[in-house]
Every structure is written in structure tokens, then in C-alpha cells.
Structure 1
Amino acid sequence: MRRTHSLEKHAKRFLTYSSGTRFFCSNTKRILWSSNQALQSRIESALDQKAGIITVLERWRKGNQLNPSLVRGIVEKLHDSHRLRHALEVSDWMIEQKICHLVPEDFAARFHLIDNVLGLEKAEEFFESIPENLRGESLYSSLLRSYARRSTGIVDLDKAESTFKKMRELGLLLRPSPYNSMLSLYGSLGNRDKVDEILREMKENNVEFDSLTVNNALRVYADVSDIATMEKFLDDWKGITTLEWLTTLDMEKAYVRDGSKGKAKEMLRKTEKLKDPKSYEGLMRLYGEAGERDDVYRIWDLYKNTKEKNNEGFIALIGSLLKLDDINGAEEIYYKEWECSAFEFDVRIPTLLVSGYRKKGMVKKADRLLNKTMSNRRLVRPINPLLEEYGKNRNQMKPSDLRDLIKNLCDSNQLSKALEASSWMGDIKVFNLFPEDYVARLHLIENVLGLGEAERFFKNSIPENMKDYTVYNTLLNSYTRSEKTLNKAEAVFEKMRELGFLSNLSPFNSMISLYSQLGKRGHVKNLVLKMKEKNIEPDSVTMSNVLKVYADETDIETMEKYQREWDDKKMKLETRTMDAMAKAYERTGLLKKAMETTGSKQEVQRLWNDYKKTKAEIKRDKDRPWVKRSEIKNEEYRSVIRSLLNLDDVQGAEAIFGEWEPQGPQFDTGIASLLISRYYEEDDIWRVGTTRTPIRYWNSEFANLTLL
């Protein structure tokens, strides 16, 4: 029992009262870590190699005594280096392995880590699992800090006040830390009365104010511009107070609101003396508001050499320069420094400059920067601020420019931004919209937000007089992309028939494509007949879908009938259709036609290997009873070589040519001519002369061909 009391007393010596949870003083850490440099080195090496720290500790423990204080020091060092997940891992291991007798500060440390790594809900569950006799002041203070830090609503406020009340009942309100949490919470909510109440309670309980207490109170008084109370409070506690930069800046704002410019500038100088890089953004803003251009640039020179430099700093600088009417300076910072930086593209920064241009009447510069910015692929944030800026001069806004912007964003596949622009165009109601505007938005909504939202937009937001052929056709295309919406597609198609919108090819193609996927031959045939009745000419999409339907059903007769009808149109079929037709030919034993039809050179080779099996190799193929051949004629060689050349497989054609042996007493020059013609097309004269041919190629007819 004495040992436990001693450990608790020892642990409390290291507890500090700042807003962050700390578990060991820096001197203790130095002693602990210098006591075992070997273990420290191994852990650091494991971290660098992203290896497991627990493995290092387990191995070390097997051959060495593991001091509990050393493990606590590891947790703290990992915490201080922002490796919170690793710190929690070691904390878990320390408890599971019972490395030491746990004291309230251990639980507080673990609570803090769980809160930051796994979230407050898990931290609350951990708190509830701790026996009440081990819930010391440090643990309750950690819980209260978490509630105060996250208080964004009535629930967290109630939890914070309940925890504070519980600490009061348990007699744990002996130090400034819990009071400071409540001061910070009430200050953020702007509750001046509660702040005064907390300060009175501290005085009644003889709890000494610390620097954090004073800073919290000063910020509250500054926020309500109570200059007299603010100055008196500062005078009363000046001896114990180190002013924070947030406090001095808030006090400066209070002085500005009060009209005390001299005192405001004095507070800015005090802020500078703190030399905290985090204060530089605020200093640039406030010097800008005070009209001090040279001071803005001076602070910028300090700020840009710090690690704190980011987009917020550029916003502070450019915003201040624009307030100071220094458009040239803002422009130079934007183009020469920010655009060249590697920071995330932040829409607020070009928006500032665009606004500055417009205020100076530099409309062309504003529009150029606006369009350039909205088309920038690095822009990931919403573009609404830019659009709002664009809409400020509505008299100069051209509908064509906005439509071009939407199209350009679509063409560059920046659909979310295009939808923002399209929606904004519809909402501002500055100029009349046309069906094509609704078509663009309908298409974008489907692609960005989904078909359900697109349906709602069609039903609720498009006026009936705007629902023309293009709008209905866009909706139909959406439905025909999936068999799940077949019924909706058919209903829209029927509606288009009623409205007289079926005089174009597109709706027919959409329905034929859907029916083709579903293998509905009868429906496809009916649509083709209706197209003929309306004198609507098919295109390559129509042909591909129709031929594929009959190919999949191995209806060779109908497939070839349609192919003959459309043969003079000389349209290129889709590869998937050509392959489906080749499969149909193969299934019926027409391997030569299959080779001539397929769009795959690998398929040509496979089919050829089947085709060239001789009668000696296969007298009768049981799987394919139609295979009965004694020899392969020149005609077949011409066919396979032609097929490979059509697929740009010259090497494959040359290999087949190498297999070829002339048949019959008369030599067939057509086979070699296929390759030689290709060589001439490619201007490869050398290969013409080196083509492997039997000596009798050089008869008079063939020689005349090669000497052309």
C-alpha cells in the first residue's frame, strides 16, 4: 500500500496543467532515455522501417530488465513526436503485459491517446471501464478537456458541465486545469456571465490563476469589447501572465473597435515580440486593416521563411494588399509566388484577385483569370465562390461564355465543376434557359449524383415547355444503359412516339442496344422495320447491335441478310460484333468465314490451326463432325493471309506465307502479291526483294508485278 501511494505521489509530480496532457517532465525523459540508448536506437530504427515497436520491446524484454518508467517514457516520446497510434500500441502492450502497477496518470495518458486515435466515443467507453477508485483528477481533467474542446452543441456542453459538477462533488477542483477547460468552453460560446462565474469560483476556492486562465478571460473581455475590465484584469495578473498571440490579436481588435488606434498598434507590436510564426497570418490581416502597407510586407518576409507558410498566409497577404489598394502587389504575389508554389489549389485565392480586378474596373483580366481558374484540374474545392464573383457584374455576363465554360469542363471530364456551373446558371435566373441547358444539367446530374437525382430533376425542375426531343432522348439514354430500367426506357420511348419525337435515329439506337444486350430478337426486328417505315437510315451502331443479336442466336441466314442490305454503306462494325459473328460461323463449321470476319488476330491464328488439320490427323472430329478435309488449297491461304493483313498482323501473315507450298501445276501469284502489296504500301522496298519465294515465282507475270 505504501508502495502504491509512493508511485501515485511520484507520478503526480510530473503532471502539468496546460491544455495538452503530459505525463513526464522533460528532465525525467532525458534520464529515462539516456539510461538505455540501445533500446531507444532500436525503436527509432523500427519506426524508420515501419516495423512493429512491440516486436522490439518483446525481444528486448527477453534478455533485459524492462523498467516501467522507461515504458512510460516511450509512450510519452511517441506522443510528443505525434506518433499517437504507436504510443497507443505501446500503452496497450504495457497494460496487457502488466509491466507496471497502473496509477491514475497511466489511465489519463491512455484516455488521451484513445480519444485522439479512436475517437471520443471509444475514449468514453474506456473511461467507464476504469474502477471509480482509480479515476483520479488527471483522468477527469482529460475527460473534461475533451468535452470542452469538442463542444459544438448542447450534448457536449451538458457532458462538460456534468463532468465539472462531478469533479466539484469529488473535491477534485483544486487546480486551474478544469477551470481553464470551462473558461475556454464558455468563451467559445460567448457566454460572458459563465466566465465571470468560473473566475469567482476559482477565487472562492483559493485556486491560483495561471497564465492560461488570464489569457482565456482576456479573450472573452476583448470579444465583447469591455476595454475597462480587460485592462484592469491584465493589470491585476500581469505578474503571472505570458500573453499568447491569439490574446494580443483579440485585444488589438477590441482597441480598433473602440477607436484606440495607438493602443491597437501597441498590441500588434507586442504580438510581434512573441515571435510566434503562427501569429504572422493574423498580423498581416490586422496591419492591412490598419493601413500599414510596409508592415504587411515586413511580416510577409518573416512569414514566408517559416514552416508555417501555407495557403492561409497567401490569403492573408493578398487580402491585405487589396484592402490597401495595392493591386499590382497582389497580382505579383499571385502569379510569381503562389502559382509557382506546390500548395493545394485553393479557389479562395484567385477569387480574391478576381474581386480585386473587378473593383478596379479591370473586367477583362478578371474574366481571363476566372475562366482559367475554373478550368484548372488542380481545383478540387467547390467553384461557387468564383461563380458568385462572376455574377457580380450581371450586365456584362454573357450566356454564351457560361455555356462554353460548362462545355469545356465537361470535355475535360471535370463533371462536378461543370454541374456546379450548370446549377448556378439555372439558379441565378439572369437570362433565359433553353432545352439544351436542361439537357446538359440532366446529363451532369446523372453522372455526378446518380440516376435517381436525374429523374427527380426531370420531373420537378424542367418546365413542360422545355421538355423537347433532346431532353427526352437524354433521359432515354440514361434508362437504356441498364436492363434494370427496361420498363422505364420503354415508357419513355412510347411517350416520345406520342409526342412525335421518333424521327431521328438516336432513340432507336438506344432501344436496339438495350434489346440487343437482353437477346430480344423480335423487339430488335420490329424496331428495324419501324426505322424502314420512317426512312431512318442505320449507322454503324445500329448495324453492330442488330448483327450481334442474330450472331448470338447463330441465325446466320438473317445475319447475312442484314449484312447484305447494309453492305454498300461501308461502315465499320464494332469488334465485339465481328467476334460474335465469327463465333456464329465457327459454330456452324464455316471456319474460313470465321477467319475472314473476326476482329482478333489471335482468333484468326486459333481458327487457322483448327482449319489446317489434315485428313491424316483427323479423319472425323467427334466434337465437330463437319471437319472432313484432305488438303488446304491456295484459296484458304489467301484468305488467312488477307485476314491477318487486314488486322495489321504482318508478322503473322509472313509466318503463314512461310507455311505455304504452291498447289497444282500453275503457280498462284495472288498469295505473294498480298504481302508485296502491303510492303509497297509501307514503302518497304527492301522487304519486297527479300520475300522468301520459290524460284518459279519469277515467271513473267509475277516479275512484271514486282518490277512496277
Structure 2
Amino acid sequence: MNFTKLLFNSKSQAQYGVLSRFYYTNRVNKATLYSRISPLGSPNKSVEAELEDWLKHGKNVRVAELQRIIHDLRKRKRFTQALQVSEWMNKKGLCAFSPIEHAVQLDLIGKVRGFDSAESYFNNLKDQDKTDKTYGALLNCYVRQRQTDKSLSHLQKMKELGFASKALTYNDIMCLYTNTGQHEKVPDVMREMKENNVSPDNFSYRICINSFGVMSNLEGMEGSLAEMENQPNINMDWNTYAVVANFYIKAGLTEKAIDALKKSEQKLDNKDGTGYNHLISLYASLGDKAEVLRLWGLEKVACKRYINKDFITMLQSLVKLDELEEAEKVLKEWESSGNCYDLRIPNIVIVGYIRKGLHEKAESMLENLMEKGKHTTPNSWGSVAASYLDKGQVKKAFECMKAALSLFVQDKGWKPNLRVVTGILDWLGDEGSVRDAEEFVESVRRTIPVDRKMYHALLKANIRHGERVDKLLDRMKADKIQEDEETKTILAMKSS
């Protein structure tokens, strides 16, 4: 579980509204502009053509709907499309942009084109549009791209203009120091914030608590937590206690961790699957199977519908606990849930099998998925191949690596494990057929540069079966691979 993400998630939720576990669906089968734009899958696919077509057919365009579309696209991290809608709305003059609309567009420009473009947009704004909203949006752009000097210079301007009177501004600077690893500076920002009579909010305290925890200053962390608990304007939330529990676990303070986890659970919104997931992960770190299963049961009742992310967290936790039988039960729940297929989910169990030396079960699961027409990846098959090789079952490793290579797609990031490839090549040279060796080398050289070991395997296989190797040696020269002493030793096998 990524606890840095836990720290920052609540900030975005507070700014942009709590993210729903369900995508919006139109309640009536009536075509809307939203229903035209929302399904445009690729985040980089242009939406301007859809907007123009809507107008061309005489349909009304309501500003409120465009704003809602922008809001939804931002939630889904489809920032390029959100920016296109915002810029189109501005270009068409559908409404006079207020500082809030400018701030949204500035933020999107920063996300899509970088802080330089955001800075240029800001500089071209009219003076009346340069308010705390647009100044704050530009500060956020600087912070997001870790521009320390620009962030601090911009903050100073905001102070001079009286725009640094909210917690959000100081939170941004604390985020900057957190993201650049300068945790020791975070408490100083918190102190300055209070001196300037700006009340810290939940996120202010949480980021300060996190910095103390990262610095292993548990006394400072506990002091900040106690102060936060005593603030009348602060409603304590589950994720603050979860952050604290995580640092107690890392420090080996189990009792304190459990106490923080109990407090976190008391603050959970019954429908907050994210909260349950974090607590499940933390109890797994403590090795507490009973609590993991209890919270999973509560989550299923509370959230009614549980999404793939929930299954991923639960399966990761069970595999961490070496509870593979329980993981198999959860996997069956997922299979019957009706959720969309996601290879990451069965792959968690596959990885668990491999770690426990149950490579036959891992292979069987992959075969079963393929029989059902489900997508598998070369990485999964490659991992099973490595497991077989480690157990000395080279023929099985060969079969699994063939499956991995058959799924290879250029520029998708996967490369075969060279140790596994070498082991299989040695085996093919000593025991494999000429056809198997040829086909394997042909597949491998599509993924990694051809090398001497590949040719040595081919030479040995051909010589063992009484085949001529003249053409093979010519291919070797064409690939600019010179003969070495081992090559000569292999060739000497012909006359023995």
C-alpha cells in the first residue's frame, strides 16, 4: 500500500470532491454532450471535434454542463481533454471567465504543458483576474513540478498581496518540501503558518505528522497528533491515524500501532472502501490475519459493491501473510463479482504461488486464463519459467518461456530474464532438437540483441543431430559475432 498516496489523496478529495466508486451514468437514455465525450477512451483523444459537431447540429451548449464535464475529466485524470473543453469554452466566448475558471484552466495547462506555459497564461491575465485563486493555481503548478525557487518567490508575492491567508497556500509549500525530501523544513512552515494566524487544517497536520514520522521523530509526530486532536475546528479522520499507525509499525511499536488502527476504524465512513483497504493493508503488515479477514467482511457489507482495487488490496495482504488458500477464495469471489477482467488480480496469486515454489499451480492458472480467452502477460510466464529453472526443470522453463515470448510486444517494457534465457539455451544445445533451438533463438532475438550464446546453442544442436553448420557460421559472421575458443571447442565435436 502506498502511504505517500494516502497522505496526499485527502488533499485532492478536499479540493475536488470525494471521488465516487462508480462512474456517472446517464439515468435516461437521452443523448447529452456528456454522453458523447465521456466514452472517448484514450485520455489524449481530441474532444474538440465532438464539441463542434454538437454545435453544428444545432444542439444547445450549457456552460454548467461544460463545467461539469471538465470537473469529471479532471477526476478521471483526463487532463488533456479537460483542457480542450476549457479552452474551447473560452475561445467560443460562451461565458466570461471568472478567476475561478482561469484558475482551473491554469491548473490544467500546468498539468498538460508544464509550468512555463502556466506561467505565460498567468502573465497574460488581466489584473482583475490575478486573484488568490489564480495565484494559488500557479503556486500549485510550481510545487507539482518541484520548482523550489519559483515556488518560494511566488509565495512571497502572495504574502505581499495578502493572498497567503489560507491553509492551502502553506500546505502547498509543505508538499514541496515533502516531495523534495526536505522534511526537516515542514515543521518550520507549520510554525510560520500559526504565527501568521492561519489555522492549519487536517491536511496541514497530516503532512507535518508524516514529516516527523519520516525523520523517525516519533515524539514530534505524537506532539502534532495531540495538538490536532485538541483543535476545536478539526474533525479527526481515519487517514491521519492510518499514517500514524504506519510509522508505529515501521518502528516496531505494535501496541501503539493497534491503538492508532482502532481509532482510524472508528472514524471510517461506512462506505469508504479506500479506508478499509488501507487498514487491511496495515493489519497485514502486522501479520494479523484475523483482522484482515474481519475488515474484509465489514467492507463487503458496508460498500455493497467492491471494485477491483479492493480485491487487489485484499489479495496482496493475504499473499503477504502466506494465506494462499484464503487468497484462492477471494479470487473466486472476484471471478463471480461481474467486475471487468484485470490481470493484476490473478497475477497476485500467481506471484504468491511462485514465491512458495508452487510453480505448477502458477502455470496451471495461466493456462486456465488463456483457455478462457483472458489476457496474460509475458512477465507472468517469464516468472514461472524462472521458477522452473531454479528447480532444475529446464524443459518446463522452456515451455513457459516460449509462451512468454509468444506474447511479446515491442516497446511494452518487458525483456526476458537473461539468466533464464541462458539456462534454456544451454539445455537446448545439449539436449534440444534443432527445430526447438531454431524457433527459440528466433523468438528471443526479437526481444534482445543476438549474441554468441544463441549461436553456440544452435551449433551444438545441429552438430549433435549430424547437420551441416556452414550456413550457420555464415549467419554468425553476418551478425558480426566472432568465433572464440568455446566456438572452436563446439566445432571440434563434428570430428569426434
Shorter-chain TM-score: what band? Answer: 0.5 to 0.7
Deviation at 1:195, TM superposition (A): 0.6
Deviation at 1:354, TM superposition (A): 0.7
Deviation at 1:101, TM superposition (A): 5.3
What amino acid sits opposite 1:174 in the alignment? S
**1:414 and 1:394, CA in 2 relative to 1: closer, same or farther beyond 3 A?**
closer
Structure 1 counterpart SS, 2:165? coil
1:112 aligns with one of 96, 107, 115: 107
What amino acid sits opposite 1:250 in the alignment? V
Equivalent in the alignment of 1:204: 195
Unaligned runs of 5+ in 1: 1-16, 25-40, 62-69, 479-487, 493-498, 500-708
Cα contact 1:354–1:369 (8 A) shared by 2:
no
User: Matches of 2:423 and 2:239 in 1, distance apart?
Assistant: 40
**1:375 and 1:421, CA in 2 relative to 1: closer, same or farther beyond 3 A?**
farther
Deviation at 1:403, TM superposition (A): 1.8
Whether 2:35 is the aligned partner of 1:48: answer yes
Deviation at 1:252, TM superposition (A): 0.6
Deviation at 1:213, TM superposition (A): 0.9
Deviation digits for residues 52-82 of structure 1, max 9, x if unmatched?
4873998769xxxxxxxx84x4454333333
Structure 2 matches for 1:185-204, cutoff 5 A? 185-204=176-195
Task: Give aligned pairs, total.
Answer: 425
Structure 2 matches for 1:637-652, cutoff 5 A? none
Q: TM-score, normalised by structure 2?
A: 0.68
User: Matches of 2:286 and 2:66 in 1, distance apart?
Assistant: 47
Cα contact 1:354–1:370 (8 A) shared by 2:
no
Q: Percent of aligned positions with the same letter in both sequences?
A: 23
Deviation digits for residues 642-695 of structure 1, max 9, x if unmatched?
xxxxxxxxxxxxxxxxxxxxxxxxxxxxxxxxxxxxxxxxxxxxxxxxxxxxxx
Equivalent in the alignment of 1:342: 340
Deviation at 1:345, TM superposition (A): 1.1
Deviation at 1:427, TM superposition (A): 5.0
What amino acid sits opposite 1:255 in the alignment? Y
Equivalent in the alignment of 1:298: 294
Equivalent in the alignment of 2:310: 313
Deviation digits for residues 520-571 of structure 1, max 9, x if unmatched?
xxxxxxxxxxxxxxxxxxxxxxxxxxxxxxxxxxxxxxxxxxxxxxxxxxxx
2:420 aligns with one of 422, 425, 435: 425
Equivalent in the alignment of 1:225: 216
Equivalent in the alignment of 1:283: 279
Deviation at 1:199, TM superposition (A): 1.6
User: Matches of 2:132 and 2:243 in 1, distance apart?
Assistant: 32
**1:112 and 1:74, CA in 2 relative to 1: closer, same or farther beyond 3 A?**
farther
Deviation at 1:310, TM superposition (A): 4.3
Equivalent in the alignment of 2:442: 443
**1:367 and 1:101, CA in 2 relative to 1: closer, same or farther beyond 3 A?**
closer
**1:121 and 1:293, CA in 2 relative to 1: closer, same or farther beyond 3 A?**
same
Deviation digits for residues 607-655 of structure 1, max 9, x if unmatched?
xxxxxxxxxxxxxxxxxxxxxxxxxxxxxxxxxxxxxxxxxxxxxxxxx
Deviation at 1:267, TM superposition (A): 1.9
Deviation at 1:96, TM superposition (A): 3.7
What amino acid sits opposite 1:206 in the alignment? N
Deviation at 1:111, TM superposition (A): 1.3
Cα contact 2:186–2:208 (8 A) shared by 1:
yes
Cα contact 2:106–2:121 (8 A) shared by 1:
yes
Whether 2:143 is the aligned partner of 1:144: answer no
2:268 aligns with one of 263, 274, 277: 274
Cα contact 1:357–1:366 (8 A) shared by 2:
no
Structure 2 matches for 1:200-599, cutoff 5 A? 200-238=191-229, 239=231, 240-272=233-265, 273-275=267-269, 276-304=272-300, 306=303, 309-335=306-332, 337-338=334-335, 342-346=340-344, 348-355=347-354, 357-358=356-357, 364-366=360-362, 368-369=364-365, 378-383=374-379, 387-388=382-383, 391=386, 396-408=391-403, 413-416=406-409, 420-421=415-416, 423-426=418-421, 432=427, 434=429, 439-445=438-444, 448-449=446-447, 456-458=449-451, 462=454, 467=459
Instruction: Report the aligned-residue RMSD.
Output: 4.7
Equivalent in the alignment of 1:180: 171
Structure 2 counterpart SS, 1:82? helix
Q: TM-score, normalised by structure 1?
A: 0.50
Unaligned runs of 5+ in 2: 1-9, 18-27, 38-49, 482-487, 489-496
User: Matches of 1:442 and 1:475 in 2, distance apart?
Assistant: 15
What amino acid sits opposite 2:191 in the alignment? R
Q: Which has the larger radius of gyration?
A: 1
**1:98 and 1:149, CA in 2 relative to 1: closer, same or farther beyond 3 A?**
same
What amino acid sits opposite 2:205 in the alignment? V
Structure 2 counterpart SS, 1:237? helix
User: Matches of 1:85 and 1:322 in 2, distance apart?
Assistant: 38
Deviation at 1:398, TM superposition (A): 1.3
Structure 1 counterpart SS, 2:32? helix
Cα contact 1:399–1:431 (8 A) shared by 2:
no
What amino acid sits opposite 1:178 in the alignment? T
